[in-house]
A and B are shown apart, each in its own frame.
Chain A
């Protein structure tokens, strides 16, 4: 198990380096210049030149890449141009908010979806199933930002229980969390409910379900212990996918709810052409996604002993 995890982490190294390289060159292809965007359109050519030299933007691209890559390998992400502080510090300030949102969203959505999915499977073809499958189709087809706008319309405008701007002063933790969390849960639950339902329906026909009933087990026990236990693999896959996309989806969610997080940090950095910050935020998001994938693979082994053994 230990060597398997180590192997997975080592194999992630080239991926992270690849992300670093691609991001480095792609952001420099975006029209615009950090010096111009920082100094404003009124700045003189001389001022811009001084600024460029100060941040090492005057050097040829390969040289810039060499410096940035060497610093990256030592764990130094450089200094943000727009925020006047180290990129690492800026990310560490914003990351917890995003991780908490994504984590809470996936846990809440996961639990809800599993219950709904089991219910839909048990009542297959009856009204609870039809209701849940049509609602989940709707939830899956609506884009996150659209759901987010409806959440704002209902809970902020009509009911007034949450603020429109989550990062405003005097907003409590749960008030700022509620809107984005609800939006995330709607999207995630829709997909996972369907997965749970179809995975459960497949298991219902298995012989060991008949054995469990023949033993005299109560139906609830048969469903949750025997059927759900075997339906876990697709559920874990989709939950991992949900968590990984939650980090990327944070960009949209944090923009809709003006919430502070790594997504809104990245948007701000792109608007300011803050190369080091874009670089840092993008690489951290990529690393989080890779981490989630590794965790998913490890959890498979706990859910299904047959996978654990063949992995060793």
Chain B
């Protein structure tokens, strides 16, 4: 699947939010990521690790100012950071679409859901009201909304959470975007609906040959949908690998910790592991490796010097001084 060329290339992205009276909050601290055509990339990390901000920046949805953005975000070689307002609007929804965590609040509550989809469609494609309605209805059926025709004219509050997320997906896919950014698409849904939505996303990705970025804190979600995984910690990518390699042989102590936190069928007899401590305050990150205060393998070098990426294959690295030694 992921043998296509590079579609989205994030280089040295930094996002800072200046704070009155104290130092800036550094949400993203030099992220490099590439997304290839047709690839599905999983982004995993705790809340506040900068994963959402990174991809909101790709859509330029981070208000700047006040935020300060640095680096390059290349979509097919065009820098999103330098796009004009009109170029950005053409890109949003048409080339890159995004779905959000909260299906309950992500739809306009006073507008019929069908109208909200037609609106997107007519913005990017020159269709008549009637044609747009038909195409939108088609997508409603594609995302498997039962009784699509009558649901089409419902208001969001008349639909369940799962149906609303399907509406969001239909709305995101309606203009055949090449990249879908899914920011915690299943977090607010219950587990059975979660599985259905993930399965639907996977199917639609293959059908439309679309690249998907799946942002989540849930490794089970990653396992279900992602081919490659990037692990975020304190605004950096600390490990990147194919999903198989990452689960079988994690290189970064943080990734190891995350994997140990996931309950399996065999964990019944013991206490679930956890990573001691909390994520660092993005306004005052620790010196050296940002993970060292929580790392069981921390050595002196970790406290003094920020680790470089150590590569163990073409797109396989861990940003850790001790990667490869411990595990």
Residues on A facing B (Cβ under 8 Å): 206-208, 210-219, 225-226, 229-230, 232, 303-306, 309
Q: Which residues of B contact A210 (CB under 8 A)?
A: 61, 100, 106
Q: Judge whether A216 and B120 touch: CB under 8 Å.
A: yes
Q: Judge whether A305 and B155 touch: CB under 8 Å.
A: yes
Q: Judge whether A214 and B108 touch: CB under 8 Å.
A: no
**Cα A141 to Cα B124 with chains together (Å):** 48
Q: Judge whether A216 and B110 touch: CB under 8 Å.
A: no
Q: Judge whether A215 and B105 touch: CB under 8 Å.
A: no
Q: Judge whether B109 and A208 touch: CB under 8 Å.
A: yes
Query: B114-143: contact bitstring with A at CB < 8 Å (1 yes, 0 no)?
Result: 000001100110000000000000000000
Known A-B contacts A216-B93, A217-B89, A229-B111; the reply to A208 vs B106 at CB < 8 A is yes
Q: Judge whether B105 and A208 touch: CB under 8 Å.
A: yes
Which of A213, A217, A218, A304 has a CB less than 8 Å from the CB of B110? A304
Interface of A is mostly: helix
Q: Judge whether B61 and A230 touch: CB under 8 Å.
A: no
Q: Which residues of B contact A232 (CB under 8 A)?
A: 110
Q: Which residues of A contact B107 (CB under 8 A)?
A: 208, 211
Q: Judge whether B92 and A305 touch: CB under 8 Å.
A: no
Q: Judge whether B157 and A230 touch: CB under 8 Å.
A: no
Q: Which residues of B contact A217 (CB under 8 A)?
A: 89, 119-120, 123
Q: Judge whether B98 and A214 touch: CB under 8 Å.
A: yes
Known A-B contacts A210-B61, A210-B100, A306-B157; the reply to A216 vs B105 at CB < 8 A is no
Residues on B facing A (Cβ under 8 Å): 59, 61, 85, 88-94, 97-98, 100, 102, 105-111, 119-120, 123-124, 155, 157-158, 168, 171
**Cα A213 to Cα B61 with chains together (Å):** 7
In whole Å, how far is A311's beta carbon from the nearest beta carbon of chain B?
Answer: 14
In whole Å, how far is B190's beta carbon from the nearest beta carbon of chain A?
Answer: 19
Known A-B contacts A207-B102, A305-B157; the reply to A214 vs B97 at CB < 8 A is yes
Closest chain A residue to B158, Cβ basis: A309
Q: Judge whether A207 and B106 touch: CB under 8 Å.
A: yes
In whole Å, how far is A227's beta carbon from the nearest beta carbon of chain B?
Answer: 9
Leading 4 A-B pairs by shortest Cβ distance: A216-B92, A216-B93, A207-B105, A215-B93
**Cα A232 to Cα B92 with chains together (Å):** 27
Which of A214, A225, A305, A306 has a CB less than 8 Å from the CB of B93? A214
**Cα A21 to Cα B312 with chains together (Å):** 91
**Cα A41 to Cα B277 with chains together (Å):** 93
Q: Judge whether A215 and B110 touch: CB under 8 Å.
A: no
Can you name 30 A-B residue pairings with CB atoms under 8 Å?
A: A206-B105, A207-B102, A207-B105, A208-B106, A208-B107, A211-B100, A213-B61, A213-B92, A214-B61, A214-B93, A214-B100, A215-B93, A215-B119, A215-B171, A216-B88, A216-B123, A216-B124, A217-B119, A218-B89, A219-B85, A225-B111, A230-B109, A230-B110, A304-B110, A305-B110, A305-B155, A305-B157, A306-B109, A306-B157, A309-B157
Which of A229, A303, A309 has a CB less than 8 Å from the CB of B108? A229
Q: Judge whether B155 and A306 touch: CB under 8 Å.
A: yes
